[in-house]
Each structure stands twice: as C-alpha cells, then as structure tokens.
Amino acid sequence: MLVSTHTHFSLELFTKIAANRYKIAANGYITVGFKRVNAVSKNLKINSVERISSEGKHCAFTGLIKNPFDMSNQTLLSIYRRGLNHVSPDGAVIVCKLNLKSGRKIYQRLVIPSWDLRDPKFCFDGRKLIITAFAKHKSVNTDSVITKMVSYFSTTGDSWSSPHFFGKSGWWLWRLTWHKSKAYGFAYNRSRERIDLYEGDPRKQLFLRKNGVMSLDKYGYGYPNESHILFDKKDNATAIVRRDADSFSAKLGFSSPPYTHWIWHDLKYYIGGPVMLVLTDTMYLVAGRNWDNKKATTAIWLLSLADYSLKLLITLPSKGDNSYPGLVWQGDTLYVSYYSDHIDNKTRVYLAEISGMNTLLDKVK
C-alpha cells in the first residue's frame, strides 16, 4: 500500500539545497537568475494580530472562510488541527466561529478515536459547508498505517454531520474548490512524486479526472504536493503547487475544460501551504510560507498571471513552524489565519487584520 506522509518542512534540508540551486545575493535576496523582487508593504498595513486558537500543545494548519450562513457578514469560521505536536497521532479538528464585532469565539471539536486528522480545509458548495481532512490510523498491534480522506458537512455552521471516509488510500487530496456542482482538487503521493486531478463530491466520492497532471517522470518536476485551484467566469482553471525537490520552486498552472491538459510555469520561489485570492483577471494574491535564505515566515505576494512574477507585499509576525494560511477579503480588509511559534515558542493560530486592499486593487487594475 502506498502511504503519503505529510510534507514536513526541514530548514536544514532546504538550506543545503537552496545553497546549491539559488544565486544568493550579498543582501540576502534570492535572485534565482532574474530581477530582484523587493518587499513592498506600502499598500497593506497590519492593524492587528490576535491569537484565536484555544488551549493546546500544537495548534496549526489553518483555513478561513466567511461564514456563509451569516447574512450580517459579522462572523468568520476558522479551522485548524490541534495535537501534541506537528506529527503526533492525536490530531483533532477545531472549528472556531469568530464574531468580528464583539470578538466572541465559539469552538467546536471534531475527532475520530485512534485517527490523526490533519490539515482540515473548508469548501462550500452553495448550500452546504464541507470540511475535508487527511485521516491517518496506525495499528498499535502491527504498526500498519491506513490513510483516507474524511469529510463533514453543515447547513448552519453550528453543528456537523458524522464523518464520511472517501478517497484513495495513500493519496492526499489537499484542497478542494467547487465549480459548477463539482469539487476539484489535486491529490499527491510522496513516493510517486506526482499530483493527480480529482473531481466529485467529498460527501460521497471523488473520481480521478487525470493522473500525472504534474510529475517527476513526465515533466521533470520533483515532488509536487500542496496546491490550490481557482476557476474564472470562463471556466478556466489556475493552480499553484508547492514542490519539495530539486529547485523547491512553486509552479503556476493553467488549464481549460475538461482540465486534462495543464501548462506549467516556474514561479522561482518556494511557497509552502499556498492559497490564492483573485484581485483582477490577471492579478492574484498568494499567501504561504516564504524562505528568505535565513528563516521561514508567513508572507503575502502579488502574483501576475501575465508574466508569472511574484512581488512580496508583506510578511506577518512569524517564525519557525509556521504558515498554512487562510484568506478572506471583506471591503478594505484582508483577514489572514495562520499559525506560528514566534511567541514563547508555542505553536498557535493567529488572525491578522490587514487594511489597504482598496488601494492595492486600484493600483493593480
């Protein structure tokens, strides 16, 4: 049986490979053989960063969505894993309902005894809010490992269905996006060093649409894994994919129906746990883990689909074990959930409130 383990981030390993692959300038920027990308934070301003995770040894791997059942737009739903540590076998899914006006937080806990639930994500099909997570079970008697995907759904955001297992054992469906009554997402497997495209309904089953949309064997791109797909009004798909081999640089992909052929472009930057948000037809925001040749932080970039360039906009307070953000854009404010251990070396989940989205949008139009 193929078992895909989580993409653990190793600063030591990344430093060794980056030193060989990247052109490191004296000022510390990674130039990668092209024009230096400077950090620009004039448009965006961090107004606040608040811890939102409840008590727990290790709270990490976040997601964020505007509460689809709150017509007042006053609440956000955040999701994260809580466990003893990054790889402990006791992972529980925590859902936090956050009232933006009062600051009140309400928590819900989803567990499956003897299963480790990892990297929970939200997706919304227009009627039901769905949680998906990677589920891992290790037998105490034989040490054999079983992995599946698991889903829950809600029609209120206040209570959740019983768990439903789906997916192919050993393959990690990272993040699902709904488009025209179907959920789409890439599944990855570490030993195969490839991602496959799946479609369907996580409350029932997802089916293989195309295998090997990116792989070491076909494209020469080693170990593609975490990803995010977005669709435009013309049904075209745009995807970003993290990689943890060779140059470690993320890839930007484009496809059109039926999404069986993808064109990939190199982004020249390592991005861990990537998530995107559409600004205009050709400009997106990207958030994820950044590496500046010295440390890992959680960052937000401006991505141009026209020339496949990234411009660093802002870095959030973060260090060590960090990132895996979620994004919600509301008026002039960008809300970002992420985790970090920059305070007291405790791994916690934070919500950053960032202003300046209107000015940024005006500049990129």
Q: HEC states along the chain?
A: CCCCCCCCCCHHHHHHHHHHHCCECCCCCECCCCCCCCCCCCCCEEEEEEECCCCCCEEEEEEEEECCCCCCCCEEEEEEEEECCCCCCCCEEEEEEEECCCCCEEEEEECCCCEEEEEEEEEECCCCEEEEEEEEEECCCCCCEEEEEEEEEECCCCCCCCCEEECCCCCEECCCEEECCEEEEEEEECCCCEEEEEEEECCCEEEEEEEEEEEHHHHCCCCEEEEEEEECCCCCEEEEEEECCCCCCCEEEEECCCCCCCEEEECCCCCEEEEEEECCCCEEEEEEEEECCCCEEEEEEEEECCCCEEEEEEECCCCCCCEEEEEEEECCEEEEEEEECCCCCCEEEEEEEEECHHHHHHHHC
pLDDT digits (tens, 9 = 90+) for 278-310: 999 999 999 999 998 889 999 999 999 999 999
**pLDDT at residue 4, rounded to an integer:** 39
**pLDDT at residue 293, rounded to an integer:** 86
List, in order of start, the domains of the chain with CATH numbers: 12-364 (2.120.10.10)
**pLDDT at residue 365, rounded to an integer:** 87
Chunked into runs of 10 residues, the chain (365 residues) has average pLDDT values of 42 46 33 34 88 94 98 97 95 98 97 97 98 94 92 98 95 97 97 97 97 96 98 98 96 98 97 98 98 94 97 97 97 98 95 97 93
**pLDDT at residue 22, rounded to an integer:** 38
